[in-house]
Amino acid sequence: MMEYSIRGAGRPILVFHGGHSNCREEFGYDELLRSGYSLLTPSRAGYGQTSAGIGKNLGTACQAYSELLDHLGMDKIDVIAVSAGGASGIYWASHYPQRVRSLTLQSAVSGRWHSPQDKTYKVAQLLFGASMEKYTWAAVRFMSNHFARVMFKQMAPSFSILPYSEVLARTREGDILAFCKMNNRQRSGHGFLLDLPQINSITESDLNNIRCPTLIQHSPNDGAVPIEHARRAHQHITGSRLHLLDTWGHLIWLGKGSEALHPELLEFLAQA
């Protein structure tokens, strides 16, 4: 079973959402919809109502996404891959070149991320495993809804390498509300624990094989996916375009500097 959403009625973009997300993702959607694009967002393997079974590896997951496009009568499509969804986007563009018009990587992983020896990996196994994740996210939602600024401050180091005072100085009105809305729609299901090993399976060959026009958008201040991932993708994807955004961190749709994201993206899509 695969859960998905379709928004808008224009030229379609396939969105591979990030970790802990699903087909109800919102970041960056309104601007693309207003510009005449439609957005197809499948909940990736193990997220939302999508079966974890399709996610035995990136190959089986991407085959399922290809079958979804067949079902919807879509052929060649633009792709946006976000954060932990970067691995799916890279594998898709590398192994299904006939179906990809363009690839955009936003705050995306491009190779080895967390290993089983890392503290972060071990904590993720505990907090986001299938038996615990609903309690983890229930606590996050409660804190976000009742103590929004406290929760934003507590979670900021996971998203930015900047001191909190600088993160706060770079936020815009509505950022903390958008951050809390994100926390309210997030769940891990079985998906995040599928993501961790699959991200590490992306190779330089996968990147080298990508031939479609590629835009890489990333913040040097990203505390979740270090800037080295963007530089690695840029180095290995022939003809790729690297767009660094001076935002406060991983959520490049928020904060001062985010206004540069969509003009660059829309120009790229128009030329692809």
Active-site positions? Answer: 83
Return the residue matching tokens 């993160």.
Answer: 167
- In whole angstroms, what is the distance from residue 211 CA to residue 214 CA? 8
| CA 11 to each of CA 6, 81, 269: distance values in angstroms, whole numbers, following the listed order | 12, 17, 10
C-alpha torsion angle, residues 269, 80, 201, 234 (rounded to 10): 40
**Cβ contact 22:47 at 8 Å:** yes
- How many Cβ atoms from other residues are within 10 Å of residue 165's Cβ? 8
DSSP 43: P
